[in-house]
Every structure is written in C-alpha cells, then in structure tokens.
Amino acid sequence: MAISGSCLCAAVSYEIEGTLSDAGHCHCTMCRKGHGAAFASYASVDPDRFRWVSGSDAVARFESSAGEDRLFCRICGSTLGGMSRGRVTSITLGSVDDDPGVRPLSHIFVGSKASWHEITDDLPQFEEWPPGENWS
C-alpha cells in the first residue's frame, strides 16, 4: 500500500511504500511557529520507503536544530515533514492526501503548549518526548 502526499499548490508530491508510525501532536514552540497553529501533527516514516514523486526542487529546508531540518514547499509554504541527517524521517499528517493509516497516539511537549489552547481529548499528554517516541 502506498501513502501519497502533497503540498497546497501541488508543486511537491511524495509517496511512501509501507506504513507510518508514532503519530502524534507536538505542542513545542518550534512546531507552533512553523505551522502557525496550536500544534503540529506528525508521523514517523522509514526513510528507505520515502520518495519525492514531483517537485523535489521546490522543497526548502530550515535547520531548526543541529542536524534536523524542517521541510516545506518554497512556493506555497506548506509544511511537509522533517529530515534527520539528510534523510526524510517524518511527514506532517496534514500533507497526506488520503487516510494515513495511523492516528495520533499522544500530545507531546505540552509543557510549552499555547496558553490559549485547551487539549480536550483523552490522548496521553507528555511534558517532553515520551519514552520510545521520536519523529527523527
């Protein structure tokens, strides 16, 4: 089963052969600012199963931490995912075109969540990274 995704303007598209894992909502300051929202929803991807289908030249990177890049479309600004040491390791669930096959498991970095946002679901909440979860 292939999972496909794209940016808002459709200049960039990608495909993942296989499944996603470790989906969750991140409330850290970087994710909030990068998405312009209360939180960002990501899932982990096996870098060996990810490929750009079109528009790889329109993908821009921003190094948000040492060795970690945030990926976005340089045309429309859509956030696409993250890279670790030059390989795509996570994707934004909002960029997936159909059902991603996973559901968020938790809220992370709630210690720095937006003061104006109230988490109202029953998912577990973690101040930072929960044990065994990492999107990079």
| CATH number, position 73 | 2.170.150.70
Range of the domain at 50: 2-112
The tally of CA atoms less than 13 A away on the side-chain side of residue 46 is 9
pLDDT at 131: 66
Q: pTM of the entire structure?
A: 0.89
Q: Count of CB atoms within 10 A of residue 63's CB?
A: 10
Residue 128 lies in a domain: no
Residue 127 lies in a domain: no
Residue 68 lies in a domain: yes
pLDDT at 28: 92
Residue 94 lies in a domain: yes
How many domains, in total, are found in the chain? 1
> Strand 68-73 relative to strand 59-65: parallel, antiparallel, unpaired?
antiparallel
Convert the pLDDT of each residue in 16-58 to its tens digit: 999 999 999 999 999 999 999 999 999 999 999 999 999 999 9
Convert the pLDDT of each residue in 60-111 to its tens digit: 999 988 888 999 999 999 999 999 989 999 999 999 999 999 999 999 999 9
The tally of CA atoms less than 13 A away on the side-chain side of residue 84 is 11
Residue 124 lies in a domain: no
